[in-house]
Structure 1
Amino acid sequence: MPQSALSTDGALVLFSGGQDSTACLAWALARYDRVETVGFDYGQRHIVEMTARQDVRGAVSARFPDWAARLGEDHVLDIRGFGAVAESALTADRAIEMTERGLPSTFVPGRNLVFLTYAAALADRRGLKALVGGMCETDFSGYPDCRRDTLDALETALNLGMDRDFRIETPLMRLTKAQTWALAKGLGGETLVELTVADSHTCYRGERGARHAWGHGCGECPACDLRAAGWSAWVAEGRPALTA
């Protein structure tokens, strides 16, 4: 998108430092003239993502000068009290397995609803209209708060409750993980792909030891499984680029 076509509404990206939020950050930087990021410390076991998100931001600024000029402040919100209430395998030393509800034990009830409510309050004060998140209901773990109908309902509630006109943007909602890799290439070429592999973090166990073709992680948790399968499918397709 040429700079003259950039939206002046401004965007706040829910930025964990993972593969999906890295793609969303690039997507927003290609569309908005001002982009800020917000991360959440909710007592997650994979707290290493809080370091990864700074590494990704730094790498994006260094390697994409046009985007660096649009990348604004980063915000980190402490909501560990919520994490304690909504205990799961992401916030406590519990096995990652399927529960009797048919959901992974990594499900944190209402997490995206809380994230977006805090993000909307911050966006209100920062004068930003777009809330950008990496929620997806194509290749995902089945979390109900990742579904677009959930986010449509929340968008309505936030706008009624804050008397604003926020838009919850979910550029990955209908994409497979293979298509997310393709989107990254379409947005930032092989540079963004390599940056995502090297610096982003998705593993639920917080492991940064071994580097696989798709990045760092334990290679066994649901997040690693999704990321690895998406990479393999994308490579099998010839590593195409997806036009943003």
Structure 2
Amino acid sequence: MNKEKAVVVFSGGQDSTTCLFWAKKRFKEVIAVSFDYNQRHKLELECAKNICNKYGVEHHILDLTLLNQLAPNSLTRTDIDVDKDAPKDGVPNSFVDGRNLLFLSFVAVFAKQRGVNHIITGVSQSDFSGYPDCRDVFIKSLNVTLNLAMDYEFVIHTPLMWINKEETWKMAYDLGVLDIIKNETLTCYNGIIGDGCGECPSCKLRMKGYLDFKEKYLK
């Protein structure tokens, strides 16, 4: 197994960028892979590219526009408003069916072609926002499936799986990249870099985590 290379599923958001720098501390070579699925906040691809260019990370954008046709929702359609609050029953309308399944499957194919065994993704069961494909049981299941499907030894790393947004900010702080995460990443569903719009669920979650982190660690 090649322990020197890793591929990061990279959106340019808080979580994946924290994972990118986590990977850079642990692997000699890190490659970032982003996906174009005609997402509403297309600016995230520019954000991801800029971060990789600035910090010397090889970056690839893969075409997954078919996902936009298959899974219409508020992140793939400008005529569907993003839920401001998570529904009491069911998943938010920002959930894209099959997104992490497809992302990780395509990244696994990409990784195998380059002799890479390690895949990093920023999913979290603690702050999964009702998304079923962010659960640990899904990641473990897919890891086994990918290994069997390609007869290859993949290891999917999930550094954020059991931590919340406050602890994710703390990880960025410990990695020495707090300002990068705060000012250069795009988490907002409405495509605003940094602190975002402040209104969408993603911005609310991000800001609450930051304020909790700031109160505890930046006194």
Fold match by TM threshold 0.5? yes
- How far residue 8 of structure 1 moved from its aligned partner, in angstroms, is 3.1
Aligned to 1:144: 132
Partner of 2:42: 47
Q: Does 1:112 align with 2:100?
A: yes
Secondary structure in structure 2 of the residue aligned to 1:237: helix
**Runs of 4+ displaced beyond 6 Å:** none
State whether residues 3 and 117 of structure 2, in contact with CA within 8 Å, keep that contact through their aligned partners in structure 1.
no
**Counterpart AA for 1:96:** V
Instruction: Check the 8 A contact 2:24/2:30 in 1, yes or no.
Output: yes
Structure 2 runs not aligned, ≥5 long: none
Alignment-mate amino acid for residue 218 of structure 1: C
**Secondary structure in 2 aligned to 1:38?**
strand
Question: Quick one: which amino acid aligns to residue 130 of structure 2?
Answer: G
Question: 1:52, 1:139 → 2: CA distance?
Answer: 23
What's the TM-score, normalizing by structure 1? Answer: 0.84
| 3-state secondary structure, aligned to 2:55 | helix
In the alignment, which residue of structure 2 is the partner of 1:95?
81
Q: Which amino acid is 2:150 matched to?
A: M
Partner Cα distance (2:36, 2:195) in 1: 21
Secondary structure of 1:39's aligned partner = strand
**Against the structure 1 CA distance between its residues 198 and 100, is the aligned structure 2 distance closer, same or farther, given a 3 Å change threshold?**
closer
Q: Provide, for residues 179-209 of structure 1, a one-character-per-residue CA deviation record: whole Å limited to 9, x for no partner.
A: 1111011112xxx11111221100011134x
Counterpart Cα distance in 2 of 1:100 and 1:238: 33
For structure 1, which runs of at least 5 residues remain unmatched after alignment?
1-6, 62-70, 209-214
Q: How does 1:149-164 map to 2 (within 5 A)?
A: 149-164=137-152
Contact 2:91 2:130 in 1 (8 A): yes
- Secondary structure at 2:33's aligned position in 1? strand
Deviations 1:86-127 (A, max 9, x none): 111000020222568521100001110000000000001011
Aligned residue-pair number: 215
Distance 1:10 1:20 in 2: 20
TM-score normalized with structure 2 length: 0.93
State the one-letter code of the partner of 2:140.
Answer: D
% identical equivalent positions: 41
C-alpha distance in structure 1 between counterparts of 2:148 and 2:155, whole Å: 12
Conserved 8 A contact 1:59-1:195: no
State the 1:31 CA deviation.
0.5
Residues in 1 aligned to 2:4 and 2:183: alpha-carbon distance in whole angstroms: 31
Structure 1 pair 187/27, CA: closer, same or farther in 2 (3 Å)? same
Q: In the alignment, which of 50, 53, 56 is matched to residue 51 of structure 2?
A: 56
Correspondence list, 1:10-25, <5 A: 10-25=5-20
Question: Amino acid of the residue matched to residue 227 of structure 1?
Answer: R
CA contact (8 A) 2:128 2:135 kept: no
Once the 2 structures are TM-superposed, how far is the Cα of residue 83 of structure 1 from its aligned partner?
1.9
Aligned match of 2:116? 128
SS of residue matched to 1:37: strand
Cross-structure match for 1:8: 3
**How far apart in 2 are the matches of 1:33 and 1:27?**
12
Q: Distance in 2 between matches of 1:161 and 1:202?
A: 32
SS at match of 2:26: coil
Flag the 1:235–1:100 CA change in 2: closer, same or farther, 3 A: closer
Distance 2:70 2:216 in 1: 43
Distance in structure 2 (CA, Å) of the matches to 1:120 and 1:114: 10
What residue is the counterpart of 2:21 in the other structure?
A: 26
- Alignment partner for residue 179 of structure 1, among 134, 144, 167? 167
2:198 aligned with 1:203: no
Deviates more, 1:51-60 or 1:9-18: 51-60
Deviates more, 1:231-240 or 1:24-33: 231-240
1:221 correspondence with 2:207: no
RMSD over equivalenced CA pairs, Å: 1.6
